[in-house]
Amino acid sequence: MSLDILAPVLLTVISAATPLLFAALGELVVEKSGVLNLGLEGMMIVGAVCAFAAAATTGSGLLGILAGAAAGLGLAFVFGVLTLTLAANQVATGLALTIFGLGLSSLLGAGFVGIPVAPLPKLDLPGISDLPLFGPLLFGHDALVYLSLAAVVAVAWFLKESRPGMILRAVGESDISAHSIGYDVIAVRYRAVLFGGAMAGLGGAFLSLSYTPMWAEGMTAGRGWIALALVVFASWRPWRLLAGAYLFGGVTIAQLYTQGAGGLGIPSQVMSMLPYLATILVLTIIAAGPWKGRLNAPACLGKPFRPST
């Protein structure tokens, strides 16, 4: 394959991976604090519709991005109130969040179907951007792509090197110990959950503002769930998560290109199954493999905690 073809393919891989990366990175932090938020899909899609609505109404991509993040944050706050303050079952609440989010998004988005919006501006450096392969690969993106990569670096540093990151890991490792030493478990988890919501919202915003600059009902198409699987795949490590997200971006694009190339006689629907089947395969390999990756799984993941006073 010549460079001229390779570059656009890789570009689309990056685009397909970015929403997954945002959502999964947020969820990674949430899970490291010991909380399992299955509502990623709901937060993503509400983020997508709010970002689109804000951008289409104001004409500002930046406002769109902020609206997407704020919407994800808002839903995450609801999740936090239920699971952290009211100690509700995290699995059930996450599912409720997704059902609610899907309903809310189609309600909010009813007036925006079929409306165009200007895609986010791309970083374009004359001369450099035109270099073969590396030019478009390194420079042809919008701000969200760079933000997602910066977020990987930031989260990796935060968890490994910073003191708040260490406290967050401790809270996810043993809520009871953290509480008895004097850390406010609930407050730490609230912050993590809100961060996760904002990140999911950004993932949604990228979908509706950049990946396919439009609004369509159910446009997340299970990406929230795939992002959840990615966190397991990455065994809660940010850099491995980056690799996982780009791998899945690759799978998505591969099936799109195969469909475009006449699908080798395979019905397009069968090709569309690939990302979902790949997710199942990856989860199985991770669970069955000798490494298991469990050493890194937060010990308190999904357990409700209520301090006694």
Binding site for another protein (CB under 8 A): 38, 42, 78, 81-82, 86-89, 91-93, 95-97, 99-107, 110, 163, 166-167, 169-170, 173-174, 176-183, 221-222, 225-226, 228-229, 232, 267, 269-270, 272-273, 276-277, 279-280, 283-284, 287-288, 294-296, 299, 306, 308-309
Cα distance between residue 96 and residue 22, in whole Å: 21
Nearer to another protein, 138 or 285 (CB): 285
Nearer to another protein, 6 or 107 (CB): 107
Nearer to another protein, 51 or 78 (CB): 78
Nearer to another protein, 6 or 280 (CB): 280
Nearer to another protein, 136 or 275 (CB): 275
Question: Cβ of residue 228: shortest distance to another protein, in angstroms?
Answer: 6
Nearer to another protein, 2 or 269 (CB): 269
Question: Cβ of residue 198: shortest distance to another protein, in angstroms?
Answer: 20
Question: Cβ of residue 43: shortest distance to another protein, in angstroms?
Answer: 12
Question: Cβ of residue 1: shortest distance to another protein, in angstroms?
Answer: 28
Question: Cβ of residue 285: shortest distance to another protein, in angstroms?
Answer: 9
Question: Cβ of residue 237: shortest distance to another protein, in angstroms?
Answer: 13
Cα distance between residue 237 and residue 195, in whole Å: 17
Nearer to another protein, 118 or 280 (CB): 280
**DSSP secondary structure, the chain, as one string:** --HHHHHHHHHHHHHHHHHHHHHHHHHHHHHHTT---TTHHHHHHHHHHHHHHHHHHH--HHHHHHHHHHHHHHHHHHHHIIIIIS---HHHHHHHHHHHHHHHHHHHHGGGTT---PPPPBP--TTTTTSSSHHHHHHSSBHHHHHHHHHHHHHHHHHHH-HHHHHHHHHHH-HHHHHHHT--HHHHHHHHHHHHHHHHHHHHHHIIIIIS-S--TTTTTTHHHHHHHHHHHTTT-HHHHHHHHHHHHHHHHHHHHHHHTGGGG--HHHHHTHHHHHHHHHHHHHHHSSSTTGGGS-TTTT-------
Question: Cβ of residue 238: shortest distance to another protein, in angstroms?
Answer: 17
Nearer to another protein, 26 or 224 (CB): 224
For the CA atoms of 161, 163, 167, 173, the dihedral, rounded to the nearest 10 degrees, stands at 20
Q: Report the chain's terminal Cα–Cα distance, integer Å.
A: 66
Question: Cβ of residue 155: shortest distance to another protein, in angstroms?
Answer: 18
